[in-house]
Amino acid sequence: MKLQFLSFDVIFAVVTFAFAVSMLAFVWYTINSQLAISSGTGVQNMQVELQAVSDKLLGTGYPNNWYAAVTISNTITWSNMSIGLGGQTPGLLSLGKVMTFESMANGNYLATKPMLGVEYDYYVTIQGTNFIIPIGRKPSPFPSGGLNGVTVQSTTKAVTINGQSASMQIYIWTNSSFGVG
């Protein structure tokens, strides 16, 4: 009789243990799948946002002379406009627009994010032979991503500003890491 009782206890314990391991494996698989999906989506969103910001910055903005209507210290004057740094010629940046946007970003960075249509943080540098114009928040560590949970997407565009050839680097970044592992 004791042997029969002991065997039912062992069978019950094995079944319970197998069920618990199966549930743990299912939960692990589900979480891992969700992380893989979100990681792809997050990076893809950043790439789409980077392309949109790049197109917007190289455009003329709305209205074409938006920078003339801006008072840096009064964000109300920033409404009903779209930021674009370009002039009528593709790749040609307006120095007035660049300097106004730089002042806006330095004065109230958070107010400029919706104007660019970004959810993530942004950083733009315009660099020529003897000048560098930084705009926005610089990611840390810069410019490499992946360390300390920073994810960075970037693009470089050839531009002309004030008669000089330059390159415009646009970074979209976040302190969230989209990778698994």
Instruction: Flag whether pLDDT at 177 surpasses 70.
Output: no
* Helix, strand, coil share (%) of the chain residues, nearest 5: 50, 25, 30
pLDDT tens column, 159-171: 999 889 999 999 9
Please measure the distance between the N-terminal and C-terminal CA atoms of the chain and give it in whole angstroms: 52
Which has more pLDDT, 14 or 55? 55
Look at residue 66 and tell me whether its pLDDT is greater than 70: yes
The residues near 154 (Cβ < 8 Å, ≥ 6 apart) are 50, 143, 169, 170, 171, 172
> Tokens 């000089």 belong to which residue?
164
pTM: 0.70
pLDDT at 6: 64
Q: Averaged over 95-123, what is the pLDDT? A: 91
Which residues, 6+ apart, have CB-to-CB distance to 54 below 8 Å? Answer: 155, 157, 170
Residue with the bigger pLDDT between 151 and 20: it is 20
Is the per-residue pLDDT at 53 higher than 70?
A: yes
